[in-house]
A and B are shown apart, each in its own frame.
Chain A
Amino acid sequence: MKVTLKIWRQPDSASQGAMHTYEVDQVSEDMSFLEMLDVLNEQLNTQGEDPVAFDSDCREGICGMCGLMINGQAHGPEVTTTCQLHMRSFKDGDEIVVEPWRSDAFPVLKDLVVDRGALDRMIQAGGFISVNTGSAPEAHSVPVPRDDAVRAFNAAACIGCGACVAACPNGSASLFLGAKITHLGELPQGQPERHSRVVDMVAQHDHEGFGGCTNIGECTAACPKEIPLDVISQLNRDLRVAMAHGH
Chain B
Amino acid sequence: MASSLDPSHSTATNQPSVQVSDDAQGYYVPGEPLVDPRTPAGPIQDRWTTRKFENRLVNPANRRKLSVIIVGTGLAGGAAAATLGEAGYNVKSFCYQDSPRRAHSIAAQGGINAAKNYKEDGDSTFRLFYDTVKGGDYRARESNVYRLAEVSANIIDQCVAQGVPFAREYGGLLDNRSFGGVQVSRTFYARGQTGQQLLIGAYQAMERQVAAGTVEEFTRHEMLELIVADGRARGIIARNMVTGEIETHLADVVVLASGGYGNVFYLSTNAMGSNVTATWRAHRKGAYFANPCYTQIHPTCIPVAGTHQSKLTLMSESLRNDGRIWVPKNKADCDKDPRQIPEADRDYYLERIYPSFGNLVPRDIASRGAKNVCDEGRGVGPEVDGVRRGVYLDFSASIERLGEDAVREKYGNLFDMYQQITGENPYEVPMRIYPAVHYTMGGLWVDYDLQASIPGLFVTGEANFSDHGANRLGASALMQGLADGYFVLPNTIREYLADGPFEPIPEEHPAVVEAKKSVEDRVAHFLSTNGTRSVDSYHRELGNIMWEYCGMERTEDGLKKAIDLIRSLREDFWRNVKVLGTADSLNQSLEKAGRVADFFELGELMCVDALNRRESCGGHFRAESQTEDGEALRHDDQFAYVAAWEFGGDGALPVLHKEDLVYTAIEMKQRSYK
Residue among A29, A39, A80, A129 facing the most chain B CB atoms (10 A cut-off): A129
Closest to B215 in A: A124
Closest to B172 in A: A143
Separation of A86 and B580 alpha carbons in the complex (Å): 28
Asked if B306 lies at the interface with its beta carbon under 8 angstroms from chain A, I say: yes
The answer, among A32, A128, A138, A156, for a CB contact under 8 Å with B205, is A128
- Given A31-B306, A80-B420, A189-B160, decide whether A119 and B99 contact each other with a Cβ distance below 8 A: yes
Which A residues touch B490, using CB under 8 A?
133
Q: Is the CB of B107 within 8 A of A51?
A: no
Which A residues touch B401, using CB under 8 A?
none
Which B residues touch A42, using CB under 8 A?
534, 536-537
Within 8 A of A (CB), among B578-605: 578, 580-581, 585-586, 588-589
Closest to A154 in B: B165
Asked if B122 lies at the interface with its beta carbon under 8 angstroms from chain A, I say: no
Separation of A100 and B82 alpha carbons in the complex (Å): 32
Q: Is the CB of A124 within 8 A of B99?
A: no
Stretch at the interface among B191-199, B359-367, B652-660: B191-199
The answer, among B217, B272, B486, B581, for a CB contact under 8 Å with A133, is B486
- Given A49-B580, A53-B586, A128-B205, decide whether A149 and B101 contact each other with a Cβ distance below 8 A: no
Which B residues touch A53, using CB under 8 A?
586, 588
Q: Is the CB of A136 within 8 A of B207?
A: no
- Given A65-B97, A128-B204, A129-B204, decide whether A45 and B589 contact each other with a Cβ distance below 8 A: yes
Closest to B191 in A: A153
Which B residues touch A115, using CB under 8 A?
98
Q: Min CB distance, A15 to chain B, in Å? A: 10
Stretch at the interface among A56-64, A90-98, A214-222, A234-242: A56-64
Separation of A45 and B532 alpha carbons in the complex (Å): 9
Q: Is the CB of B157 within 8 A of A30?
A: no
Asked if B505 lies at the interface with its beta carbon under 8 angstroms from chain A, I say: no
Separation of A173 and B220 alpha carbons in the complex (Å): 22
Asked if B308 lies at the interface with its beta carbon under 8 angstroms from chain A, I say: yes
Within 8 A of A (CB), among B404-439: 417, 420-423
Q: Is the CB of B581 within 8 A of A50?
A: yes
The answer, among A50, A109, A129, for a CB contact under 8 Å with B242, is A109
Separation of A58 and B274 alpha carbons in the complex (Å): 9
Separation of A90 and B103 alpha carbons in the complex (Å): 31
Closest to B210 in A: A124
Which B residues touch A63, using CB under 8 A?
97, 101-104, 106-107, 271
Q: Is the CB of A149 within 8 A of B97?
A: no
A55-88 interface code vs B (CB 8 A; 1 in, 0 out): 1111111111100000000000010100010101
Closest to B166 in A: A149
Within 8 A of A (CB), among B634-670: none
Q: Is the CB of A136 within 8 A of B204?
A: no
Residue among B159, B200, B269, B581 facing the most chain A CB atoms (10 A cut-off): B200
Asked if B464 lies at the interface with its beta carbon under 8 angstroms from chain A, I say: no
B interface residue count range (under 10 / 10 to 19 / 20 to 34 / 35 or more): 35 or more
The answer, among B156, B159, B163, B208, for a CB contact under 8 Å with A124, is B208
Q: Min CB distance, A77 to chain B, in Å? A: 13
Asked if B171 lies at the interface with its beta carbon under 8 angstroms from chain A, I say: yes
Asked if A5 lies at the interface with its beta carbon under 8 angstroms from chain B, I say: no
Closest to A88 in B: B423
Q: Is the CB of B310 within 8 A of A113?
A: no
Which A residues touch B200, using CB under 8 A?
156
Separation of A144 and B581 alpha carbons in the complex (Å): 54
Which A residues touch B586, using CB under 8 A?
12, 53, 109-110, 113
Separation of A102 and B251 alpha carbons in the complex (Å): 39
Q: Is the CB of A160 within 8 A of B172?
A: no
- Given A60-B313, A62-B107, A65-B97, decide whether A156 and B197 contact each other with a Cβ distance below 8 A: yes
Closest to A114 in B: B98
Asked if B173 lies at the interface with its beta carbon under 8 angstroms from chain A, I say: yes
- Given A12-B585, A57-B97, decide whether A30 and B423 contact each other with a Cβ distance below 8 A: yes
Q: Is the CB of A58 within 8 A of B107?
A: yes
Q: Min CB distance, A173 to chain B, in Å? A: 14
Q: Is the CB of B585 within 8 A of A110?
A: yes
Asked if B177 lies at the interface with its beta carbon under 8 angstroms from chain A, I say: no
Q: Min CB distance, B295 to chain A, in Å? A: 19
Q: Min CB distance, B445 to chain A, in Å? A: 26
Which B residues touch A21, using CB under 8 A?
none
Q: Min CB distance, B298 to chain A, in Å? A: 13
Separation of A66 and B230 alpha carbons in the complex (Å): 42
Q: Is the CB of A160 within 8 A of B99?
A: yes
Asked if B219 lies at the interface with its beta carbon under 8 angstroms from chain A, I say: yes
Within 8 A of A (CB), among B275-313: 305-306, 308-311, 313
Q: Is the CB of B161 within 8 A of A137?
A: yes
Q: Min CB distance, A76 to chain B, in Å? A: 13
Separation of A58 and B205 alpha carbons in the complex (Å): 22
Within 8 A of B (CB), among A158-206: 159-160, 183-184, 187, 189-190
Asked if B174 lies at the interface with its beta carbon under 8 angstroms from chain A, I say: yes
Which A residues touch B174, using CB under 8 A?
139-140
- Given A65-B97, A131-B161, decide whether A123 and B86 contact each other with a Cβ distance below 8 A: no
Which A residues touch B309, using CB under 8 A?
35
- Given A59-B310, A143-B172, A160-B101, decide whether A129 and B161 contact each other with a Cβ distance below 8 A: yes
Q: Min CB distance, A78 to chain B, in Å? A: 8
Q: Is the CB of A129 within 8 A of B162?
A: yes
Which A residues touch B103, using CB under 8 A?
63
Q: Min CB distance, B244 to chain A, in Å? A: 10
- Not counting A64-B102, A145-B172, a sample of 7 additional A-B residue pairs whose C-beta atoms are within 8 angstroms of each other reads A31-B306, A38-B310, A62-B106, A86-B421, A123-B203, A149-B166, A184-B163
Instruction: List 28 interface pairs A-B (beta carbons < 8 Å), by A numbering.
Output: A28-B308, A29-B423, A30-B305, A30-B306, A35-B310, A45-B578, A51-B580, A57-B273, A58-B106, A59-B271, A59-B272, A64-B102, A65-B98, A120-B100, A124-B210, A128-B207, A129-B204, A133-B86, A133-B490, A136-B158, A136-B162, A139-B159, A140-B174, A142-B160, A143-B168, A156-B200, A157-B196, A159-B196
